[in-house]
Structure 1
């Protein structure tokens, strides 16, 4: 796993704000931008330029595509880069959270090994940015809104659809819950006491004794009748 960035509040604000000297131009949407150190985001067209990939020292590529685009949006240089291909449906019903852990693991391993990763979909506007926002969110331990601004401040044209935005909010709750669980000392977590075998034996003996006691029958003493004519001793 890629180490979580430990930044103070001022450093986080600076990271989220991004470089202030970038003048965004319309044609830049056809290029890719570095979002985190070693992590780039862009459209499919950027992944087709071997010259661009080599200039950026890209080593790994996450290709996220709509299943209907598989014939055109595909790896072009499989012998020269390591690829992960995710086939999805680019609509608001697509579950991205389920697919994200594998993508994150791929990116983590690449960057930890000194590699550089390009994440792309067809246009680099909605689908692949949602994955990168989730990655930035967890990497910096920030809110989904701050993570979205972080990515937008480097690639101005991104616009995840409404369904993806909802999942970004949900993922914030998921990763924060996992952090809280990991920070909770295992020894302090309440655990149910497992019943020992001898406990069962003791309970069984007690139950058997109870049954035995319940079955004990004491015959009542015969009633002695007083005869008034009998001689008293």
Structure 2
């Protein structure tokens, strides 16, 4: 069996892997494990050129989206959004008649998101009667985490119910592993 694997491995085409770190630096790794830095620099995140204009209702008065719909007045009007809570992404265009709230939150597993829960919860709770849209860059990690935590605390859902409610409304939701851990700890404390 080992000889068969060795023979097949000899016939594999050699390849190099390009790795980009969180600073945007590129490295090339060859089959022997040799690593060399590539001079061209790229962005440390994926650039998304396709707008995500979906706005989903999570519970009465609480909506979730990426950053894209906050720049489209017709979409905001369609959902009767009167408040926008921006997490980590501060809008540079603001419409009259809409209240804006901004909280600097990073989408990093080690970021202590729980320290911002109460501030976010107060904004959501005070604005939900007039429809509040909670968003971050992609509407995948930060904003869903805040809404899941809100559902746990204010709607008395357990972690799984809250996560499933948000995931059902917006299937692309995927909070980073650190945020999931923080949500589970917060749920245990609340129970």
TM-score, normalised relative to structure 1: 0.58
Q: Secondary structure at the match of 2:165?
A: helix
* Partner SS, residue 96 of structure 2: coil
Paired with 1:100 and 1:75, the residues of 2 have a C-alpha distance of: 24
Q: Which structure shows the bigger proportion of residues in helix conformation?
A: 1
Find 1:61's aligned residue among 80, 84, 91: 84
| 1:75–1:83 Cα contact (<8 Å) kept | no
| Matched pairs, number | 142
Task: Please give the TM-score of this superposition, normalised by the length of structure 2.
Answer: 0.70
- How far has the Cα of 1:157 moved from its partner? 0.7
- Alignment match, 1:165: 180
Identify the residue that residue 108 of structure 1 maps to in structure 2: 125
Q: How does 1:122-137 map to 2 (within 5 A)?
A: 122-137=137-152
DSSP 3-state at the match of 2:97: coil
User: How many angstroms apart in 2 are the aligned matches of 1:130 and 1:91?
Assistant: 12
Deviation sequence 1:168-227 (CA, Å, 0-9, x none): 101102323xxxxxxxxxxxxxxxxxxxxxxxxxxxxxxxxxxxxxxxxxxxxxxxxxxx
The CA RMSD over aligned residues, in Å, is 1.8
Unaligned runs of at least 5 residues, structure 2: 1-49
**Residue 80 (structure 1) shift:** 2.4
CA 1:171/1:29 → structure 2, altered by over 3 Å: closer, same or farther?
A: farther
Partner of 1:85: 102
Pair 1:96 & 2:96 matched: no
Task: Return the alpha-carbon distance in structure 2 between the equivalents of residues 80 and 148 of structure 1.
Answer: 32
**Post-superposition shift, 1:35?**
0.3
> 2:71: which partner in 1?
48
Question: Is 1:117 aligned to 2:132, yes or no?
Answer: yes
Q: Which runs of 5+ in 1 are unaligned?
A: 1-26, 177-233
Q: Tell me the secondary structure at the aligned position of residue 135 of structure 1.
A: helix
Measured after TM superposition, the shift of residue 76 of structure 1 is 2.0
Equivalent residues in 2 for 1:144-223 (5 A)?
A: 144-176=159-191
Q: Answer whether contact 1:29 1:155 (CA < 8 A) is retained.
A: no
Determine if contact 1:63/1:75 at 8 Å carries over to the other structure: no
Q: Contact (CA 8 Å) 1:29, 1:157: kept in 2 or not?
A: no
The structure with the largest alpha-carbon Rg is 1
Distance 1:29 1:79 in 2: 23
Give the conservation status (yes or no) of the 8 Å contact 2:52–2:69: no
Higher relative contact order (CA 8 A, sep 6+): 1
